[in-house]
C-alpha cells in the first residue's frame, strides 16, 4: 500500500522562488540533456552492449538491506515489493530496514543559509525569472521567509544539542524511529510488516504522531514498549542509522542492497529504458528491477546453497514502483 503522503510543504511563494532557480539553471540543464541524448545515440550505434551482471558475495544467510523514509511513496512501494520475499524466505535470509535521517549539529541559522537562496544573487534571480519575481526586494523577502521556516525548531526533533529531521519533516523522523523500535522489539516480523502496511495506508507525515498507535495495536504490537524504546533510545537509534547511510553513501529512498552490494547497480540503467541485468542465468529487463521476483533472484543468487524456496516465482505487486524513482 502507498502512504497518503504530502511530499513537502512549500508555500506558493517558495514554489515561485524555486521556479526562478530552475530558470537560471535551464541553459545548463538543456546542454546536459543534449549531451546525454547525443551519448545515447552514440551508444545505440555500437554493435554490442556490455552485459551487466549482478553478483554479490555468496554467504550462508544473505542479507537484504533496504534504506527508506517512512513517508517516501517510492520507499513505501519498495516495502510492499520486499514483503512477499521476506515472507517466502523467512529466516533463511536476513531483511534489515534502515532509515534515512538528516542531522543538524549546532546553529540552525548557519545550516539554513546553505539550504536557501543567496539574497546577494537576487538581481540575477529577478533578471531570469520571466517576470515571476517583480523586484529585488520581493526576492529578498522570499529568501527571508524560507530561512524563517527552516530555522523554526518545531520542524525538527531536538535531542540534546542536535536537531534531526527527515525529508518529509519532523513527524517522518519520529515515525522512522518508531518503526525501527517495532522491528527490534518483535521476533514475529509478520506483525512488523502489518504495522508498516497499516501506517502506509492510514497515516501521513502530518499526523503520524497521533495516528501510529492504532496501527500498531491493530498489528498486534505493544505500543507501550515502542514508546519506551523511543523515549530511551531515539538519539542512539538515529545515530546508528546515520552511520549506515554514511558508510554506504546512501541518500535516496529506496536503496536496496544484497550482501552490501547495491541492487540494481547504477550501470544497469540506460537513458532509453532498455537496460538489462543478468542474475545467474536469468536476464532481467530494466522495467522489472523493482519487482518481487527480480529482488528474490538477486538474494537467491547470493546463497552458498540455494534453498528450495528460490524456485517459487513471485508475482508482481499492483503498485510496482518506477524502475529508478526515489526520494532524496
Helical residues (DSSP H) of the chain, grouped into ranges: 12-44, 73-89, 108-113, 122-127, 136-150, 170-185, 189-202, 208-218, 223-247, 292-300
Separation of alpha carbons 135 and 310, rounded Å:
63
Mean pLDDT in residue range 271-297? 95
Distance of CA 42 to the CA centre of its chain: 32
pLDDT digits (tens, 9 = 90+) for 146-160: 999 899 999 999 999
**pLDDT band of 319, cuts 50, 70, 90:** low
Q: Do residues 128 and 159 make contact, with C-beta atoms less than 8 angstroms apart?
A: no
| H-only helix segments in 134-222 | 136-150, 170-185, 189-202, 208-218
pLDDT of 84 > 50? The answer is yes
Task: Please tell me the predicted confidence (pLDDT) of residue 106.
Answer: 77
Contact 263, 298 (CB under 8 A): yes
Query: Residue 36 pLDDT more than 50?
Result: no
Q: pLDDT tens across 191-234, in order? A: 999 999 999 999 999 999 999 999 999 999 999 999 999 999 99
CATH architecture, range 48-104+176-311: 3-Layer(aba) Sandwich (3.40)
Count other C-beta atoms under 10 Å from residue 76's C-beta. 27
- Indicate the pTM of the whole model: 0.80
How confident is the model at residue 49, as a pLDDT?
58
CA 259/CA 299 separation, integer angstroms: 8
Domain spans in the chain, listed from the N-terminal domain onward: 10-47+107-165, 48-104+176-311
Categorize the per-residue pLDDT at 320 as very low, low, confident or very high, splitting at 50, 70 and 90.
Answer: low
Least confident of 39-43, 46-50, 292-296: 39-43
Average pLDDT over residues 270-299: 95
Is a pLDDT exceeding 90 seen at residue 85? Answer: yes
For residue 324, what pLDDT band results from cuts at 50, 70 and 90?
confident
Q: What is the structure's pLDDT at 79?
A: 96
Instruction: With a cut of 70, say whether residue 273 has pLDDT above it.
Output: yes
Q: Which residues contact 174 (CB under 8 A, 6 or more apart)?
A: 157, 208, 209, 230
Q: Is the pLDDT of residue 8 over 50?
A: no
**pLDDT for the residue 105:** 81
19 confidence band (pLDDT: 50, 70, 90): very low
Can you tell me the distance from the alpha carbon of 22 to that of 124, in angstroms, rounded to the nearest whole number?
Answer: 12
**CA atoms within 13 Å, Cβ hemisphere of 248:** 23
- Alpha carbon 144 to its chain's center: 29
Q: What is the pLDDT of residue 40?
A: 38
Half-sphere exposure of 279 (CA within 13 A, CB side): 25
C-beta neighbour count of 41 within 10 angstroms: 11
Q: What percent of the chain has pLDDT over 90?
A: 77
> CB pairs under 8 A, 24+ apart, for 144-150?
144/119, 145/11, 145/13, 145/14, 146/14, 146/17, 146/112, 146/116, 146/117, 147/109, 147/112, 147/113, 147/116, 149/11, 150/108, 150/111, 150/112, 150/115, 150/116
116-131 pLDDT, tens digit each = 899 999 999 999 999 9
d(CA 207, CA 78): 22
What's residue 113's pLDDT?
A: 86
Is residue 9 predicted with pLDDT exceeding 60? Answer: no
- Nearest-CA neighbor of 238 among 318, 152, 320, 178? 178
Question: What is the pLDDT averaged over residues 165-178?
Answer: 96
CA–CA dist 228, 234 (Å, integer) = 10
218-219-225 Cα angle (round to 5)? 100
pLDDT score, position 175:
98
| H or E stretch covering 49 | none
53-74 residue pLDDT tens: 999 999 999 999 999 999 999 9
How distant, in Å, are the alpha carbons of 1, 56, 151, 188, 255 from that of 75?
Answer: 11, 22, 27, 22, 8
pLDDT (0 to 100) of residue 214: 98
**What nine digits make up the cell of 163?**
536537531
What is the average pLDDT value for the chain, to the nearest integer? 86
The answer to whether 225 touches 148, Cβ cutoff 8 Å, is: no
What does each C-alpha distance from 97 to 76, 80, 142, 253 come to in angstroms?
12, 13, 38, 11
Beta bridge partners of 261: 258
Q: Is the pLDDT of residue 48 over 60?
A: no
Amino acid at each position: 500500500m502507498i502512504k497518503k503522503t504530502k511530499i513537502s510543504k512549500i508555500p506558493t511563494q517558495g514554489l515561485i522562488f524555486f521556479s526562478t532557480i530552475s530558470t537560471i539553471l535551464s541553459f545548463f540543464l538543456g546542454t546536459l540533456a543534449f549531451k546525454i541524448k547525443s551519448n545515447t545515440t552514440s551508444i545505440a550505434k555500437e554493435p554490442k552492449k556490455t552485459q551487466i551482471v549482478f553478483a554479490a558475495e555468496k554467504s550462508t544467510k544473505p542479507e537484504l538491506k533496504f534504506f527508506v523514509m517512512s513517508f517516501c511513496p517510492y520507499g513505501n512501494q519498495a516495502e510492499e515489493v520486499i514483503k512477499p520475499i521476506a515472507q517466502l524466505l523467512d529466516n533463511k535470509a536476513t531483511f534489515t530496514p534502515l532509515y534515512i535521517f538528516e542531522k543538524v549539529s549546532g546553529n540552525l541559522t548557519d545550516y539554513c543559509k546553505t539550504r536557501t537562496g543567496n539574497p546577494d544573487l537576487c538581481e540575477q534571480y529577478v533578471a531570469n525569472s520571466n517576470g515571476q519575481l517583480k523586484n529585488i526586494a520581493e526576492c529578498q523577502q522570499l529568501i527571508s521567509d524560507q530561512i524563517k521556516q527552516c530555522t523554526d525548531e518545531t520542524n525538527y526533533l531536538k535531542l540534546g544539542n542536535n536537531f534531526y529531521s527527515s525529508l518529509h519533516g519532523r513527524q517522518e523522523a519520529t515515525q522512522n524511529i518508531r518503526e525501527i523500535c517495532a522491528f527490534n522489539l518483535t521476533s514475529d516480523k509478520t506483525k512488523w510488516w502489518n504495522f508498516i502496511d497499516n501506517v502506509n495506508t492510514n497515516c501521513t507525515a502530518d499526523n503520524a504522531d497521533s495516528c501510529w498507535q492504532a496501527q500498531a495495536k491493530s498489528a498486534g504490537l505493544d505500543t507501550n514498549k515502542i514508546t519506551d524504546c523511543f523515549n530511551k533510545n531515539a538519539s542512539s537509534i538515529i545515530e546508528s542509522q546515520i552511520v549506515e547511510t554514511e558508510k554506504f553513501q546512501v541518500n535516496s529512498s529506496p536503496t536496496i542492497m544484497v550482501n552490501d552490494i547495491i541492487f540494481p547497480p547504477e550501470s544497469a540503467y540506460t537513458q532509453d529504458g532498455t537496460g538489462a541485468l543478468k542474475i545467474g542465468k536469468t536476464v532481467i529487463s530494466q522495467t522489472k528491477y523493482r519487482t518481487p521476483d527480480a529482488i528474490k533472484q538477486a538474494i537467491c543468487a547470493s546463497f552458498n546453497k540455494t534453498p528450495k524456496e528460490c524456485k517459487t516465482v513471485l508475482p508482481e505487486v499492483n503498485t510496482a514502483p518506477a524502475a529508478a524513482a526515489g526520494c532524496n
